[in-house]
Amino acid sequence: MMALTRRTSWVIWTLVLMVMCTPITNGLEETNPLFWRSEAHDELRAALRSTEHNTNRAEAVIFFIGDGLGVSTITAARIMKGQRAGAPGEEAKLSFEDFPHFGYSKTYNTNSQVPDSAGTATAYLTGVKAKRRTIGLDAGIKNVSVCYPTTMNHSVDSILKLAKEAGMAVGFVTTTRVTHASPAATYAHVPERFWEAALPEEARQAGCKDIAAQLVESDFDIDVIMGGGRGWLTPYNLSDPVEPDKFGARPDGRNLIEEWQARYSQKGIAKYVWNQTEFDRIDPWNTDYLLGLFGYEHLHYSDDRAQGVGEQPSLAEMMEKAIRLLRRKNNRFFLFIEAGRIDHAHHLSLASHALSDTIALEQAVSKAVALTNDNTLITVTADHGHTLSFAGYQPRGHKILDKIFSDERGLPYTTLGYYNGPYNSIVQKSLVETDERPNITNVNTADSNYQQQALMFHLYETHGGEDVAIFSRGPWSHLFHSVHEQNYIMHVMQYAACIGDYLDRCHTADPTEGSPVTTPGSGSAFPRSMAWLPLVLYAATRALE
């Protein structure tokens, strides 16, 4: 009897421990108030720890941009990530959402309420807000898309150049063309973002250069360049090595890939790669300069690449190779990383691809955290948002790409939709012919190439004008703390790394003291009565252009 009692007790305690150690599924834990109190207590403890600010100099800076990564995209991607793991999804987190410091960025361009990626890239990479469609130029230029002899006088240096001048290794990685708006702002100065491989002759005569030429002729050495856009660096008569039916986009006959190889082979071990196989062979310990162009145009969406389309490395793979190469050259480095195809998917109303590429971005961020230490400043943000939204009263765990059957007319609609976009033309056609929206009951809306419906027609869905989130960890990340102008981001990175404007004023109480950028009335010796003088000089300069 005693043995039976002991055996029974052992079984009971085993079952109790199993229950205690096994996660409760199906959301049952959420019915218990203790669950929510415990969740809040954990978050409160993390918040209290985050008040212990890291004020060391940032030895490395890694700056992620999710092009078009608005808040609604983050939320929807978070749900998709959770659902791919078999959970309801709403409770999931993207890796960077656990970063301790957070703020918002105001994205407008100086001449546009809703911005483009050129003006925003100029803001967050040069620290100066700019006009729409311009790259690396301040807002004082006379006209967009026109080059004057004085246009280049408005050039503003990127943080990559400032980091290089401070002795850091530098590079950038993108899933777009390396000459596209966002990466171009790391090195180029041009009044028209679309002058990637060619520009009007009058612009050339006035002293402007196309973006690809500026990349190869840059006045500072970029140690790592990876992305797409082979065709924008090669001449009209040269076929692509991977897609031989496509030819270069350059009318001047220059092969900039060969020019890059010739220039950098004189400086060290320079390697050019164009596919996954060649990429995998790159040894960071035996490479000084790396140019990787893995697509004739942009790189493939992450889901397509994962299914074997093309032979291209992932964003995380390119980022890891870049970190290892830069760190081998110099423990102090600056790396810019762009998940650029989130934006392209949104423009085509391809929500599935936009969310999947967001998840690919968060995987790269997670890898960056694992590869670096606490003295690395890592910041994740967007250049702008999009018109994506999701609505309805669907139940918890509803598939984010699925349909909702609650339309007053009995027709389903997708959880995700766009304010404007190309699919509206199909909607309008159906309304004209049947007085109803298209019936998508039997349509697989989870297909990666399904286009979400839009309220208004636009050939390409537009950007959104809302603020975007900033997530940051590492030295001085606590300086992201409220709603900021977008150009502020670059200044935080400069300040944390003690470069550029803050090279000689490293972590001072007043970083603007003695600075030429100090404004009248904010500690400057410049008389307030003379505050009108810069405006007069500016007007005179404009009149002479």
Is position 180 annotated in a ligand binding site? yes
Statement: residue 538 has pLDDT above 60: no
- Residue-level pLDDT at 411: 85
User: How confident is the model over 123-144, as a mean pLDDT?
Assistant: 96
**Which one from 95, 105, 117, 314 is the annotated catalytic residue?**
117
- Residue-level pLDDT at 4: 45
Is position 406 annotated in a ligand binding site? no
User: How confident is the model over 356-374, as a mean pLDDT?
Assistant: 98
Q: Is the pTM of this model over 0.85?
A: yes
3-state secondary structure of 468: strand
- Residue-level pLDDT at 427: 72
Q: What is the mean pLDDT of the chain?
A: 89
Is position 245 annotated in a ligand binding site? no
Is position 91 annotated in a ligand binding site? no
CA-nearest of 68, 111, 104, 120 to 462 is: 68
- Residue-level pLDDT at 316: 98
* pLDDT, tens digit, 9 for 90 and up, residues 39-71: 888 888 887 877 779 999 999 999 999 999 999
- Residue-level pLDDT at 242: 94
- E strands present in 206-357: 224-228, 270-273, 289-293, 333-339
* pLDDT, tens digit, 9 for 90 and up, residues 76-132: 999 999 999 999 999 999 999 999 999 999 999 999 999 999 999 999 999 999 999
Is position 383 annotated in a ligand binding site? yes
Statement: residue 482 has pLDDT above 80: yes
CA distance 157 to 153: 12
User: How confident is the model over 389-414, as a mean pLDDT?
Assistant: 87
- Residue-level pLDDT at 21: 44
- Residue-level pLDDT at 531: 42
Among 175-184, 200-209, 417-426, 489-498, the least confident range: 417-426
* pLDDT, tens digit, 9 for 90 and up, residues 177-220: 999 999 999 999 999 999 999 999 999 999 999 999 999 999 99
From the DSSP assignment, how many helices (H) and strands (E) are in the chain?
A: 17, 17
Q: Is 117 a catalytic residue?
A: yes
Among 152-166, 184-198, 425-439, the least confident range: 425-439
Higher pLDDT, 146 or 410: 146
Is position 67 annotated in a ligand binding site? yes
Q: Give per-residue burial for 206-234: e unless 16+ CB within 10 Å, then b.
A: bebbbbbbbbbebeeebbbbbbbbbbbbb
> Within its chain, how far is the Cα of 402 from the centroid?
27
CA distances from 471 to 51, 54, 117, 334 (A): 15, 15, 19, 17
